[in-house]
Amino acid sequence: MTGTPTPLDGGHGTPSTRRGPRGLMVAVLALCAVGFAAYRHEAAPPPAPEAAAPAPVPVVTAAVRTQDVPIVLTGVGTVNALNLATIRSQVTGYLQSADFTEGQFVKRGDVLARIDPRIYQARLEQAQAQLAKDQALLANQKTNLARNEPLLQKGFATDQQVVSERAQIAQTESALKGDQAAIDYAQTELDFTTLRAPFDGVTGIRRVDIGNIVNPTDTNGIVVLTQVQPISVLFTLPTSDIAAVQAALNRGPVAATAYDQSGDRKLDTGTLLLINNQADPRSGTVQLKAVFPNAQRQLWAGSFVNAAVTTSVEKGALTVPTNALQVSDTGQFVYVVGADDTISVRPVTVKQRTRGVALVADGLKDGETVVVQGQYRLKPGTRITPASPDQVPDTSTASAGMLP
Q: For residue 379, how many other CB atoms are within 10 A of its CB? A: 16
CATH class of 58-69+316-402: mainly beta
| Residue ranges, the chain, pLDDT below 70 | 1-52, 394-404
Burial (CB count <10 Å: 0-12, 13-18, 19+), residue 282: exposed
How do the domains of the chain map onto residue ranges?
58-69+316-402, 71-82+226-315, 90-115+193-223, 117-191
Fold for 117-191, please state it: Helix Hairpins (1.10.287)
Tell me which architecture the domain covering 90-115+193-223 has in CATH: Beta Barrel (2.40)
283-326 pLDDT, tens digit each: 999 999 999 999 999 999 999 999 999 999 999 999 999 999 99
Using the 8-state DSSP alphabet, how is residue 55 labeled? P
* Pairing mode of beta strands 357-362, 304-321: antiparallel
Q: How far apart are CA 125 and CA 312, in angstroms?
A: 67
Fold for 71-82+226-315, please state it: Elongation Factor Tu (Ef-tu); domain 3 (2.40.30)
Q: In what order do the strands lie in the sheet containing 93-98?
A: 194-196, 111-115, 93-98, 213-214
pLDDT at 333: 97
**For the chain, percent helix, then strand, then coil, each to nearest 5?**
30, 35, 35
pLDDT at 32: 53
pLDDT at 31: 54
Q: Do 287 and 276 meet the contact criterion of CB atoms below 8 Å apart?
A: yes
Q: How far apart are CA 141 and CA 252, in angstroms?
A: 70
At residue 388, the 3 state secondary structure works out as coil
pLDDT at 355: 81
pLDDT at 360: 95
Q: How far apart are CA 183 and CA 128, in angstroms?
A: 6
